[in-house]
Structure 1
Amino acid sequence: MNATQTTANQLLAALGVRNVVGFFLVLARISPLFLVAPMFSSRQIPGRARTVVALAFTLGLYPLAIVGQRIPTETLSIVELVVKELLVGLAFALCVALLFAAIETAGAILDFMVGFAFGGSLDPITGNQSAVLGRVYSLVAVAIFIAINGDAWLIQGLSRTFDIVPLTASPDFASIGEALTLVFTGIFTAAVEVAAPVLIACVLTDVGFGVVSRVVPQLNVFAVGFPVKVLVGLLVVAASLPFVGGWISDQLQLSVGEALQTLRAG
């Protein structure tokens, strides 16, 4: 134990207490990205790999983040700054993560409308329970996220947060709370926008079979309607997915921009 303490003290003396504190403050802001942000928080990426990448990002952003900052060394001040950094990083990551939550919600709505909700299973991306279309939309969203360099947008956006809210500055928490409230309330609206073409097709199919059941009472609508509704739903999903890709790309840029506008020094 004495040898370990001696080594730690020598390391602190060599690096400087303020440099070490600054490093962990930057790490505190980056960590929420690997807990809630899309792709970065995927269950398919081992925890050790996420930790190594988070440390690598911290090493890259740390020299820029501490420029011109007077890092305190008092324990209480350090704790307050760590909590503040965690909140800032969480607010930024949530603004983007809720976009993917809206896409998963759209998939869940469509699974219920088409009839796939009965076959729910584990989503490999999020680790949550979802049905067929929920997994399809989730995988498509991640694929588009990678194709448009969404990971680079997130990293660039996160680096800009250190200019907007420096390590030793406090953000406007009231503005952050209002923005996150708006984002949360907009999840269902965004989900309906994504699912609208399939929802309309399913409703029209139900109306059509309702008319048929009145005209031809002998027809077993339940036996015929379910496979036809599934076929119509899949055809409209296939036709609308390219437009969903464009919507995801636009909304991702908008989400990163809104996150940066929300984070401002108080």
Structure 2
Amino acid sequence: MLELSSVQISGWVAQFLLPLFRIAAMLMVMPIIGTQLVPTRVRLYLALAISVALVPVLPPMPQVDALSLRSLLLIGEQVLIGAMFGFLLQLFFHIFTVAGQIIAMQMGLGFASMVDPTSGVSVPVLGQLMLMLVTLLFLSINGHLVALEVLAESFVSLPPGQGLMVQHYWELAGKLGWVIGAGLLLTLPAVTALLVINLAFGVMTRAAPQLNIFSIGFPLTLALGLVIFWISLSDFGNLFQALATEALQQLGELAKVR
């Protein structure tokens, strides 16, 4: 009769449980897979499938009792690491969403909003359009596969049990500056053009006070804003590729993957 000791059972559980929590935490937070459109049960099944495929090729995990305090601390560490990876990808997607919202507000299209099915909040339609474009482009360049590859390699560069150092949090906070800069890079041309249009309307109002600028200014600003947005989309693919490459490189640096 086959007999298994508690040490063997704890070792097998730790070998599978710790990678599962890191993978599941990332899948619960990252865009596309971690949205409300994907049921939680599907995400859990996907995390289990990825864990089963990765565990045989991963380095040995710390041998701990599955019900001990140290195992709970290790599980919390894995959840934080996976959530950090997913949060960085969320920041990348929100660059384009916020850029679309800023442009919509400047051109007077902020009132045209719809419920975002991924987050459940009401956002301007331009922001929703940018989010759909980014989602399709991200999937077309296999960005989700690159993110999963970085996650798999992180078990070598950030093995369980070494502890989360403070520099990881500072590095993640430093990514916020990159997000703000990328968002300004996206919105600057359109916002500048719309600002020039509004200044022109202001000059027209001072030159001809009898002209009812409000009756023609709003529809003209809206129409010109749509034209400017359409023109700005002509180079959207190259800009997205550059930002996506930078975002995935930032993800690799956060995971200490060289």
The amino acid across from 1:216 in the alignment is A
- 2:45 aligned with 1:52: yes
Stretch moving more, 100-109 or 153-162: 100-109
Q: Aligned partners of 1:124, 1:242: CA distance in 2, in Å?
A: 27
Whether 1:247 aligns to 2:239 is yes
TM superposition score normalised by structure 2:
0.89
State how many pairs are aligned: 253
Structure 2 CA distance for aligned equivalents of residues 263 and 152 of structure 1: 15
Q: Any idea what the Cα deviations from partners look like across 1:6-29, whole Å, max 9, x if unmatched?
A: xxxx9997x832122221211111
How far apart, in 2, do the equivalents of 1:12 and 1:126 lie?
Answer: 46
Aligned-residue offset at 1:206: 0.3
Paired with 2:185 and 2:21, the residues of 1 have a C-alpha distance of 35
Query: Is residue 2:29 matched to residue 1:36?
Result: yes
Q: Is the 8 A contact 2:16 2:55 kept in 1?
A: yes
Report matched runs for 1:249-264 at 5 Å: 249-264=241-256
Give unpaired runs (5+ residues) of structure 1: 1-9
**Matching residue's letter, 1:159:** A
Which string of whole-angstrom CA distances, capped at 9 and with x for unpartnered residues, describes residues 209-243 of structure 1?
11222222222111111111111111121121242
Residue number among 163, 170, 180 corresponding to 1:178 in the alignment: 170
Other-structure match for 2:204: 212
Amino acid at match of 1:221: I
Give yes or no for contact 1:141–1:245 (8 Å, CA) kept in 2.
Answer: no
CA RMSD of aligned residues (A): 2.2
Residue from 19, 22, 40 that aligns with 1:26: 19
* Offset, 1:57: 1.2
1:241 is paired with a residue of what secondary structure?
helix
The verdict on how the C-alpha distance between 1:242 and 1:30 changes in structure 2, with shifts beyond 3 A counting, is farther
Deviation at 1:184, TM superposition (A): 2.2
Q: Given the superposition, is the C-alpha separation of residues 128 and 175 from structure 1 closer, same or farther in structure 2, using an over 3 Å criterion?
A: same
1:110 paired residue among 93, 103, 113: 103
Helix, strand or coil for the counterpart of 2:69?
A: helix
Distance 1:11 1:106 in 2: 57
Residue 85 of structure 1 is matched in structure 2 by 78
In structure 2, distance between residues paired with 1:86 and 1:54: 13
Q: Is the 8 A contact 1:154 1:256 kept in 2?
A: yes
Q: Residues 128-147 of structure 1: matches in 2 within 5 Å?
A: 128-147=121-140
| Cα 1:71/1:243, change in 2 over 3 Å | farther
Q: Which runs of at least 4 in structure 1 moved beyond 3 Å after TM superposition?
A: 10-13
Deviates more, 1:133-142 or 1:238-247: 238-247
Over 3 Å counting, the alpha-carbon distance change for 1:145 and 1:53 in structure 2 is: same
User: 2:94 is matched with which residue: 93, 96, 101?
Assistant: 101
Q: 1:73 to 1:212 in 2, by over 3 A?
A: same
> Deviation string for 1:82-135 (max 9, x for gaps)?
011111111222222111122211122112111122232211233232011111
| Paired letter, 1:19 | W
- Displacement of 1:36: 2.0
Task: Find the counterpart in structure 1 of residue 54 from structure 2.
Answer: 61
Q: Contact conserved, 2:29 with 2:90, CA < 8 A, in 1?
A: yes
Tell me the distance in 1 between the aligned counterparts of 2:182 and 2:95.
Answer: 6
The CA distance in 2 between the partners of 1:54 and 1:69, in whole Å, is 18
Amino acid paired to 1:37: M
1:191 and 2:187 are equivalent in the alignment: no
Once residues 12 and 96 of structure 1 are traced to their aligned partners in structure 2, the CA distance between those partners, rounded to angstroms, is 42
